[in-house]
Chains A and B, each alone.
Chain A
């Protein structure tokens, strides 16, 4: 990899060639996505999700009792979100345990979900969302949030709608949807989004971060690109949840 870093600095590696990205995708095209709901036995709700090379699994426990008592909120549920990377999920083995990056990701992801979970229905309870990254490749936080949203629905937690998440990067002056590791690393900006979606419509922004430098009009364009991508993801999330039950019906008719 060291030699490739040097090549990049020398301007020898291009991330955009003939108007296409290195992996052949169009600028506004998502990586292949696979979503499966209800994959774990012990959890109340769960989801396995792949987004490009990202492989994540999310579990929801709750609403359940909060211990110790002093952490309870008397008028609503307390939501916890823990983003964790497995040691073998990245190129260079990662020491187990939360690092500063994981803690920040956990915070903003939790806040995105808190905005749509109906916490007031469960005073004094806790709703726990745990997501494990089994393999990471840029956008793991967006993959995790997508999986978490499905797991919450699978667990029967009341929500105002769903959360769908995708990032936009700026690479060699172009905005690209759902960046790969190389595009994220060598690009000029990385903008993860998550949206609150209801009835096939984007209602509002639930998560937003930016790292890099963009103009205002680039940011507006990135938002539109992300919205389109998020709606596509939302449809796949819905399909994954519903298909769990429709398949059972199909067996019946055989």
Chain B
């Protein structure tokens, strides 16, 4: 495909620069591209956010409605996370049901939110055993220039911070802001040859498919890890990545505090 030739040429360039200790866009190995967060852009949704990391763009919309709880947790609300890697976002995305990449992305973002207990599901009970709030987190990729994972996770938590529970619509009282009590942040690194670079752009992703994503909460606890790609991770690199992820997550969390 004609798209490939440009990426293939840049692949060699990515590798040769890395061997000299540099990245093609001049960033340091532990540096993110500029991050922009915008919330409330979809007024009809209960919450929404657009996150840009460099040229990568992801929109997350939050919809809420009353529904049935799971039988084994009759007094807890339900979170449903889905990701659409729509063909609009990249020349390589095909129309169709979610593939393994969309599913992995959605599940990792979901894990970060669930395990950090960012939303207190106990507070989303309407009538025990019968009615609870369902929270739909829908991730919509718009432009894939690398690291959709972190952009999606950041957009998800930003959208939740922006969410108002639509109680009035369902005759359940006044609308109120969804209580969010933690700020999970995902940090994805790419492993190329023996180097670890954070927030890979598309050209870099094309040179290596070896990722590791680590999500931490506001107390620097690790709440989700996903090693993605058929490679072997050394223990040494693993510790390096954990420290890096905690550090970067702290920086990104500062942006969330302004949301």
Decide: A86 near B2, CB < 8 A? Known: A42-B145, A96-B138, A132-B140.
Answer: no
How far is B82's CA from A84's CA once the two chains are assembled, in angstroms?
15
Q: Let me know if B43 and A53 touch, CB within 8 A.
A: yes
How far is B45's CA from A17's CA once the two chains are assembled, in angstroms?
29
How far is B45's CA from A42's CA once the two chains are assembled, in angstroms?
27
Q: Let me know if B42 and A131 touch, CB within 8 A.
A: no
Q: What residues of B have a CB within 8 angstroms of the CB of A58 in the complex?
A: 88
Q: What residues of B have a CB within 8 angstroms of the CB of A92 in the complex?
A: 63, 65
Cβ-based interface call for B90 (8 A): yes
How far is B141's CA from A84's CA once the two chains are assembled, in angstroms?
13
Chain B residue at smallest Cβ distance from A84 = B86
Q: Let me know if A89 and B44 touch, CB within 8 A.
A: yes
Q: What residues of A have a CB within 8 angstroms of the CB of B44 in the complex?
A: 53, 88-91, 135-137
Q: What residues of A have a CB within 8 angstroms of the CB of B97 in the complex?
A: 97
Closest CB of chain B to A244's CB: distance in Å? 16
Cβ-based interface call for A123 (8 A): no
Q: What residues of B have a CB within 8 angstroms of the CB of A128 in the complex?
A: 87
Q: Let me know if A132 and B86 touch, CB within 8 A.
A: yes
Cβ-based interface call for B95 (8 A): yes
Binds B, one of A7-15, A59-67, A186-194, A229-237: A59-67
Q: What residues of B have a CB within 8 angstroms of the CB of A53 in the complex?
A: 43-44
Q: Let me know if B88 and A40 touch, CB within 8 A.
A: yes
How far is B98's CA from A59's CA once the two chains are assembled, in angstroms?
20
Q: Let me know if B87 and A88 touch, CB within 8 A.
A: no
The digit string for B156-197, where 1 denotes a CB below 8 A from any CB of A, is 000000000000010000000000000000000000000000
Q: What residues of B have a CB within 8 angstroms of the CB of A43 in the complex?
A: 88, 91, 143
Q: What residues of B have a CB within 8 angstroms of the CB of A55 in the complex?
A: 41-42
How far is B140's CA from A61's CA once the two chains are assembled, in angstroms?
18
Q: What residues of B have a CB within 8 angstroms of the CB of A82 in the complex?
A: 87, 95
Q: Let me know if A96 and B88 touch, CB within 8 A.
A: no
Would you give 17 A-B contacts (Cβ < 8 Å), ordered by A? A1-B169, A41-B145, A42-B90, A42-B91, A42-B202, A43-B143, A57-B142, A59-B89, A61-B87, A65-B2, A88-B42, A89-B45, A92-B63, A96-B98, A96-B138, A132-B88, A132-B140
Q: Which residues of A are interface residues toward B (Cβ below 8 A)?
A: 1, 40-43, 53, 55, 57-59, 61, 64-65, 82, 84, 86-93, 96-98, 128, 130-132, 134-137
The 5 lowest CB-CB distance pairs between A and B, nearest first, are: A88-B61, A93-B63, A130-B88, A41-B55, A87-B138
